[in-house]
Amino acid sequence: MKLSRRRRQRVARIAGYVVFALAIVAVAASADWARLSDAFFQADIAGSMFPEAITVALRNTIIYTLLAFVFGLTLGLILALMRLSSILPYRWAATAYIELFRGLPALLVLFMVGYGVPLAFPDREIPGGVYGSVTVGLGLTAAAYMAETIRAGIQAVPKGQLEAARTLGMSHTRAMISIVLPQAFRIVIPPLTNEIILLTKDTSLVYVLGVTPATIELTKFAGDTLNTRVNPTPLVVAGLLYLLITLPLSQVVRALERRAARER
Amino acid sequence: MSTIEIGQLHKSFGALEVLRGIDLSVEPGEVVCVIGPSGSGKSTLLRCVNLLEEPTSGSIRVAGVEVTDPDCDIDAVRRGIGMVFQQFNLFGHLTVRENVTIAQRRVLGRSRAEADRIATANLERVGLVDKAGAYPAQLSGGQQQRAAIARALAMDPQLMLFDEPTSALDPELVGEVLAVMRGLAAEGMTMLVVTHEMAFAREVASRVVFMDGGVIVEQGRPAEVFGRPREARTREFLHRVLEPNRVSETEIGAHLTD
């Protein structure tokens, strides 16, 4: 039987789906589900983690993320404006900062802030205790990434927008605030979401600062439970709780993007 | 006092000298159309008037104020000069009404109610009151350009600059923009217009300026420049623009047939 070209393509596509589905089923069927659930899905251990998993660990994870994000976004915006400045030393300083902090592991920066700053300034301390140290420690790294994202967003706004604003008598600063930045931020919403999701997971590094039961976050909380119960079920619980943060975030961003698309 | 007085204006981009000694004045109520081939420096000349481009040398006085003076408050001068761009440059994140009110509020410090009232009046002038709530992306090119004109007019300018305002439009949308501009001219607005619309220049302009190679080749009343051009370069340009079907092969050095 001779098949038409279009029909041949369709058959090949369906065959591809079938092979793909069979491969997944084969892997799933060959796994030892009994041993797996013994290790990772112990209901009583999972149950023992609540309500602290939510009221303390999840809550702190969200607080750390938001604090570091706001700090990073503010500093990132300043750095982006410095990189685009006509003043050469500003550009140099911002470029040096971005290259440095993008190149260092977040863990290292967090450690330096947590232990280096108290050594350098023995009479003062970062306000807010561990919350303050996390804000700065994670925010410094996040700022370097966000600065580059925001800079790209500002440069993606057509030059004519700034010219039109200046022509109407707006100062450069006023034109940036009222015209360029609002449009730049609409452009960078998707990459900034990536940033906040990465930050959410970076809060798992907070343990290097030494946390108390009151300031514990998800990963450390799960790790501690794992140690006392000698079973990795807590990691699964923590993983699900991370998704509880990041999945709704993606939804919010999708809604924002739809709104921005209407206005473009 | 002349609205614009330009003396020995030079402008270079790197090694490229775009304006090579321009002298031009525009009197109150005049409509001056600048025509000429691409790259002749027309747009650069216009953009020097409100200092979107910094002149290399020469003097530019707008209503008696020397804009090239380092002590000149350029934002204040720009408030009195409306500008309309080829690409419209409406603010994409704002509605049409917000486009027309934002500078009134942020620059002139008008109240919301007053800015709204003036916005409505100017949107009526360009026939766009019913689109006040729309975003620029929802409008046709002609509507966007009319909104951009309303935005400039809301600042009560004493001078309007038009930088090829119809060049980015589909042919069937050119007329509505020219109609608004013709109305403005009839109201006595002082206008400096860079354009390729020869029919508009012939009908509306009080003076036509022909530029080529960074200099003003000739200028005069439309009837003179279009009817009896003195310079060979002007005749050549007008021939190519007004009679594109009669441009011969030999004239452009092509050899399409044996």
pLDDT in the model for residue A118: 83
C-alpha to C-alpha distance for A220 and A217, rounded to whole angstroms: 6
Which chain A residues touch B76 with a CB distance below 8 Å? Answer: 169
pLDDT in the model for residue B234: 94
CA atoms within 13 A on the CB side of A129: 5
Confidence class of residue A262 from pLDDT cuts 50, 70 and 90?
Answer: low
Q: Tell me how close the Cα of A153 comes to any Cα of chain B, in angstroms.
A: 14
B76 to chain A, any CB pair closer than 8 A? The answer is: yes
pLDDT in the model for residue A52: 82
C-alpha to C-alpha distance for B123 and B130, rounded to whole angstroms: 9
Question: Partners of B159 in the beta sheet?
Answer: B81
Confidence class of residue A125 from pLDDT cuts 50, 70 and 90?
Answer: confident
pTM for the model: 0.85
Helix axes A59-83, A129-156, angle to 10 degrees: 40
Q: Residue with structure tokens 């300083």?
A: A93
Chain B, nearest residue to A167 by Cα: B78
Contact B2, B26 (CB under 8 A): yes
Residue type, B158: Q
pLDDT one digit per residue (tens) for chain B, 258 residues: 899 999 999 999 999 999 999 999 999 999 999 999 998 999 999 999 999 999 999 999 999 999 999 999 999 999 999 999 999 999 999 999 999 999 999 999 999 999 999 999 999 999 999 999 999 999 999 999 999 999 999 999 999 999 999 999 999 999 999 999 999 999 999 999 999 999 999 999 999 999 999 999 999 999 999 999 999 999 999 999 998 888 888 788 887 765
Q: Residue with structure tokens 């009195």?
A: B80
Number of residues that make up chain A: 264
> Does the CA dihedral B184-B160-B146-A175 come out positive or negative?
negative
Question: Partners of B219 in the beta sheet?
Answer: B209
Q: Is B194 buried (19+), middle (13-18) or exposed (0-12) by CB count in 10 A?
A: buried
pLDDT in the model for residue A1: 65
C-alpha to C-alpha distance for B248 and B254, rounded to whole angstroms: 9
Asked whether the predicted pLDDT for residue A211 surpasses 70, the reply is yes
Asked whether the predicted pLDDT for residue A65 surpasses 80, the reply is yes
Q: Is the peptide bond before A51 cis (omega within 30 degrees of 0)?
A: yes
Which chain B residues touch A186 with a CB distance below 8 Å? Answer: 93
Which chain B residues touch A160 with a CB distance below 8 Å? Answer: 85, 87, 89
